[in-house]
Structure 1
């Protein structure tokens, strides 16, 4: 990857980081399409590897605001889903398409608009985690379903919960990538090259984070989710 491509990749990661830290989600939805255009080798594994510190920081800042009981069913679902997604990506990639996932996301957005006070029940959290894991295992785009499930919570609770959820989701993805032969020193070097973009985006995210709260945060999640669903449908 040349210097120009590296600069473009880091600018893409910086933009995705600003969205992620302000809305609590959107890193993959914003970053993955742009990184694929620069160099497809950057996703999903190098991008996920570079994002670990970002997600750890997002969680740590707002961890105390997260209600108990949300994490276990979500992570159980995403772990099973990631394993299934990795298997599908290696053996039968045609069984799952981005268009199908996009339609699922758009249906979830419609449900969240129609029922603005969705309760994050155990089956809903596990199901959203499962679908997110399958999507992430195949493409690196875990999707915004989990954000929609918790979008009615406070801004601090949303960001804290999603930070830890994405951190564990990415760790599951990377753990599954090793036996699948998709994580080696080449991917590590590519991930290191994206860290300046993560740092730049984190430095620029403060104003957006302070502005997005309450209804603004919920509508930001709905807008990012809808845009991601449309992009996935268009990508097929």
Structure 2
């Protein structure tokens, strides 16, 4: 069981991650996963994903009308297939893919985003970024910010609305595969419930940051979060 001190820490950690997620459109996993893993690995990935579902749904619903049509299907197909492939790879050949390798991919994507400031979210790019993000999540528990880099130049509402639904689908894919694999039970449900106060606190505190982050600020925030995530994954090995 998690003691009181650990419970307070993990809820403050998930609150911080929620503020980052709701203001920048991404970052819940990059900020929250390392902190939760340091306290209790049982919190990942299933309880973490369960606790975030309602928040991700809300992020999407608030800005859903701002999302350009035609973006969701290729991204969703990519992340579902990538999640299944990543979880299968982690079981069958865990040595074939590492966090360090995915960190390098993320950092290369940051360089590409800086070199080409207005990446176009084409169908192949959305599907490819979705697949790689899903594979990263299936193996390491951190989906990575590749999709955020693809859409970073869009208006803030479109970025947050699209990424909210994208992460929602990604987490649902993890939970479905975990359920089929017998890794979703009462313990995971209880641990997810323990994280909900932190989610609620983060939602309550996210308003000022959300209003401040838009335009160039949002794009640079995404680039900063992506860089931090890439470096963290490389350091984790």
Same fold (TM over 0.5): yes
Q: Deviation per CA, 1:9-42, whole angstroms, max 9, x where unpaired? A: 1010000000000000000000000000011110
Q: Is the 8 A contact 1:43 1:139 kept in 2?
A: no
Q: Deviation per CA, 1:35-83, whole angstroms, max 9, x where unpaired? A: 0001111011110110000100000000000000000000000010010
- Aligned-pair RMSD on alpha carbons? 0.7
Partner residue, 1:52: 53
Question: In the alignment, is residue 27 of structure 1 matched against residue 33 of structure 2?
Answer: no
Question: In the alignment, is residue 221 of structure 1 matched against residue 222 of structure 2?
Answer: yes
Unaligned regions of 5+ residues in structure 2, if any?
A: none
Give aligned pairs, total.
236
CA distance in 2, matches of 1:187, 1:139: 18
Unaligned regions of 5+ residues in structure 1, if any?
A: none
Shift of residue 138 of structure 1?
1.4
Shift of residue 210 of structure 1?
0.4
Shift of residue 85 of structure 1?
1.1
What are the residue-to-residue correspondences of 1:194-209 with 2, within 5 Å?
194-209=195-210
Shift of residue 91 of structure 1?
2.0
CA distance in 2, matches of 1:61, 1:179: 31
What are the residue-to-residue correspondences of 1:1-236 with 2, within 5 Å?
1-236=2-237
Q: Is the 8 A contact 1:48 1:140 kept in 2?
A: no
TM-score, with length taken from structure 2: 0.98
SS in 1 for 2:117: coil
